[in-house]
Structure 1
């Protein structure tokens, strides 16, 4: 089969869905399929597909903003307007590509699913995989409560229709299936297919490990997660503080990048445990980090079916995780891992204390975790289910009578807009203005650079060019919290609150 995988974020990335997509792509190619990937480029300006000419999504969005701004902002909140402009520009970018050659399209988020459903050839099967549940995440983080009623309704409808845009929606766990049904997704459209991973890198013989591992003489606690509030690092650091008051036999490695870096570093320093914590940033050697660790911990406030837990089990390490989302479907508490309530630093400290003190208990959990991984999480198990799903819808396509593939010019997505209604109340509009650090300004002489502003769900709202003095401004933003990123990689992530 000739397959197109589509994902909103740029590739390669370092989050769970990107890791899964990379595994899926290589596995499909290993079975003889031809696979291309559609995504943003690393600068978040273009949409790219294999060897086709990239499409300038930034230009398309600029045109849409000027054409639709008045009609939208009179009826809908600014946050909805900017979300819609992003999705429409993605849709327009998709239309620039030749998609006729693909036997099947597999989207990995509701944004690309909705855009491709409205842009792809009519006869091409569309599979949607959802790896997270942003509606639930927004409730956990408090973002949902900060939105107007119209915005809350949009948040739910947008994700529901994205899930319903394909012929079927695949999810990794029963928890996510249940949550999608609660927001209106048809149960018969959902297939539960747990993830699988390639086990080889994680089953590393101890003889291959360095003799002098870091922090010699101390047990290593590894937390592999993006540095964002929903991952619950704050509660882990508080738990480490409680432990450090009574012992000095551990060191914690935080592997991941994100806007919470400075906040978490400051908290570690304030609690006096900075020497017991290392912030490793983005890492590409996760199998090595897991193999040199003694305990893996994931204190998430919200998560769906984290691949890092599967990886930890293949590494034969005990995993301590918060009992949220589909994690309860991966870990059998007390048998092959340990679970604690979310946002509970006391419970985290108690279970970490057990794992640090009781070698036999730690080793028993590790052995049973490895046995579970070998039985359930090998990629071959997952791929059988995925290929069966593909073949089902590809066969249906062949059985259908050929249809002309003229794609209609799509207008506004009324299926979403009609359900949220035109109930806009007055709202203030704010500006974000800033200047890049002095040491980065030399990069402006080499090429034009941009600043992007994202909402907390990771959707790109606006993009502005950095002027010759290193300054930038964003206008017409509603009150809220945002993340700034730049095409200058060293700019990193900055979190900004306005209003």
Structure 2
């Protein structure tokens, strides 16, 4: 088969879904299938298939605004407007591609699922793997509570209609199946196929490090965002540090909370104990060189890092969120504590630090669990069953939607309705710090550079060019928390709160 994978973020990435996508693609290609990947580029300015067939994202977004923007002139918040323009950009870019050459489309988020459903040839089956419940994430992070009633409805209905657009919905755990059903997704469409991890990635794993006078290494592999709960781990480490100095902790991941977590680390006196490694692509090596893997999330779904931890034969300590209990049996092949409870986290960390035999037993049992439950061949059997079911009887001659018939997504808009309640919105104007501007002179001279404004869920709302003077600006958006990233290599990730 010719298969198109679609993922909203850029690729290759280092997060769980990206690792899963690359692994699944590799397995399908081993069996002779042709698999293309439709994503953003790393700079978030292009939409492309495997780095080719690139389409200027800013160009199609302008087209989307010209063709559909007036539909949102009254009754919709600017946050909804910009999210819709972002998805329409994906739709219009897809219409410039030859989607008819594919036998099946497999999306990996509800946004691309809705976008490609609306513009693909009707005969091509569409499958979507949902890797998270964004509605639940928004609730637990506090983002949902800051939104207007209309925006809250949009959060639920956007995810619902994206999932319902697919012929089959794949999830990794019962928890996520229940959450999606809770926002209205038809249970009969949802199929549970747990993630898998290739044993090859851990074929060079080391045995449990021998007891030495060296400090034990705690590894926290997680993006630096609120829902990953790093602050509770830091509080737990501070508590334990008052009693002992036989451990260090490494944080592997990038994100907008870096500065805040660095400040908290310093305030707790943990600068000699905690190291932030940034984005890493060598997780098996990091796990093999660690003694304990800890994931203190406030929200998670079916964390691949826990599967990797079990494959690496290291003890895993995680919080009781999402589908974690479908991975870890508490006390047998890992440990589970309540989320947002630094004292409970400290208690379990002490147990692991104190008892090498306990660590070893949990690690060995985790490895046994991995061999039984997280095998790639088992996972691929489930994927292929879904593919066979959705492609059975598909036609082969229907053309895709002509560009001149494209219209705004009325079914979604009808689900949320208009609102006459005023929403406080503010604009954002900024300038690069002098030191950053001086470092970026050549980049600004050689080609256009941009700064992107993301909402809390990671969707690009607006993109601003950066002037030669370092200035950038965005149109008004509702008050709330946002993230800035740039095509400038040294800009980093900036969290901002507009109030």
TM over 0.5, shorter chain: yes
User: Does the Cα contact within 8 Å between 2:205 and 2:284 map onto a contact in 1?
Assistant: no
* Equivalent position to 1:373, from 363, 370, 384: 370
Match of 1:125 in 2: 125
Within the alignment, does 1:39 sit opposite 2:21 as a pair?
no
CA distance in structure 2 between the partners assigned to 1:88 and 1:406 by the alignment? 16
Measured after TM superposition, the shift of residue 66 of structure 1 is 4.2
Instruction: Tell me what 2:481 maps to.
Output: 481
- Displacement of 1:51: 6.7
When residues 271 and 55 of structure 1 are mapped into structure 2, their CA distance, relative to the original with a 3 A threshold, is: same
Is residue 420 from structure 1 mapped to residue 416 from structure 2 by the alignment?
A: yes
User: Does residue 154 of the first structure (1) align with residue 157 of the second (2)?
Assistant: no
Number of residue pairs the alignment of both structures matches: 493
- What are the equivalent positions in structure 2 for 1:94-113 lying under 5 Å apart? 94-113=94-113
Once the two structures are TM-superposed, the CA of residue 154 in structure 1 deviates from its matched residue by 0.7
SS at match of 2:153: helix
Listed as ranges, the matches of 1:63-142 within 5 Å are: 63-142=63-142
Mapped partners of 1:102, 1:4: distance in 2? 6
SS at match of 1:278: strand
Unaligned residue ranges in structure 2 (runs of 5+): none
| Residue aligning to 1:287 | 284
Deviation at 1:210? 10
Q: Does 2:247 match 1:254? A: no
Structure 1 outlier segments of 4+, above 3 Å: 66-71
SS in structure 2 of the partner of residue 54 of structure 1: strand
Displacement of 1:422 in angstroms is 1.2
227, 230, 244: which one aligns with 1:230: 227
Distance 1:441 1:435 in 2: 13
Structure 1 counterpart of 2:274, from 253, 277, 297 = 277
SS class of match (1:438): helix
Q: Within 5 Å, which residues of 2 pair with 1:170-185?
A: 170-185=170-185
Q: How far is 1:80 from its partner? A: 0.6
Please list the CA deviations of residues 273-323 of structure 1 after superposition, one character each: whole Å capped at 9, or x if unmatched.
Answer: 110001000111111110011100000000000100000000001100001
- Offset of residue 99 of structure 1: 1.1
Normalising by structure 1, we get a TM-score of 0.96
Q: Which residue of 2 aligns with 1:440?
A: 439
Where 2:392 maps in the other structure, the secondary structure is helix
Query: Could you list the per-position Cα deviations for residues 407-432 of structure 1 after superposition, in whole angstroms to 9, with x for gaps in the alignment?
Result: 15231111111111111312233111
Q: Structure 1, unaligned stretches of length 5 or more? A: none
Shift of 1:74: 1.2
Alpha-carbon distance in structure 1 between the residues aligned to 2:218 and 2:209: 17
**1:29 CA drift (Å):** 0.9
Partner deviation per Cα, 1:426-456 (whole Å, 9 max, x = no partner): 2233111111223333121121100000000
Specify the alignment match of 2:242 in structure 1.
Answer: 245
Q: Aligned equivalents of 2:291 and 2:184: distance in 1? A: 43
Q: Does 1:301 align with 2:328?
A: no
**SS at 2:284's partner residue?**
helix
Q: Secondary structure at the match of 2:10?
A: coil
Q: 2:401 is matched with which residue: 393, 404, 407? A: 407
Give the 3 Å change call, closer, same or farther, for CA 424–396 of structure 1 in structure 2. farther
CA contact under 8 A between 1:320 and 1:338: conserved in structure 2? yes
State how far apart, in whole Å, the 1-side matches of 2:400 and 2:237 are: 60
Cα distance in 1, alignment partners of residues 456 and 12 from structure 2:
21
Partners of 2:88 and 2:14 lie apart in 1 by: 26
Report if the CA contact (8 A) 2:45-2:57 is conserved: yes
Q: CA deviation at 1:339?
A: 0.3
The SS at the match of 2:485 is strand
* 1:353 aligns to 2:347 (yes or no): no
Would you say 1:54 and 2:54 are equivalent positions? yes
Tell me the distance in 2 between the aligned counterparts of 1:395 and 1:266: 56
CA RMSD of aligned residues (A): 1.7
1:138–1:51 CA distance, 2 compared to 1 (3 A)? closer
Alpha-carbon distance change, 59 to 247 in structure 1, aligned in 2, over 3 angstroms: same
Distance (Å, rounded) in 1 between the aligned partners of 2:209 and 2:182: 49
- Which runs of structure 2 are paired with 1:461-472 in the superposition (5 Å)? 461-472=461-472
Structure 2 CA distance, aligned partners of 1:403 and 1:149? 44
Moved more, 328-337 or 384-393: 384-393
What CA distance in whole angstroms lies between the structure 1 residues aligned with 2:55 and 2:373? 40
CA distance in structure 1 between the aligned counterparts of 2:205 and 2:24, rounded to whole angstroms = 25
- Using the TM superposition, name which of 432-441 and 124-133 deviates more: 432-441
1:490 matched residue in structure 2: 490
Partner residue, 1:311: 308
Distance in 2 of aligned mates of 1:473 and 1:66: 20
What is the CA-CA distance between 1:64 and the residue it aligns to? 2.5
SS at match of 1:491: coil
1:60 deviates by 1.4
SS, match of residue 365 in structure 1: helix
**SS of corresponding position for 1:497:** strand
* d(CA) in 2 for partners of 1:205, 1:449: 42
Distance 1:69 1:404, change over 3 A: closer
Asked whether the 8 Å contact 2:205–2:312 carries over to 1, the reply is: no
CA distance in 2, matches of 1:227, 1:51: 28
Paired residues of 1:429 and 1:475 also in contact (CA < 8 A): no
Matched ranges for 1:148-227 at <5 A = 148-206=148-206, 217-227=214-224
CA distance in 2, matches of 1:245, 1:210: 25
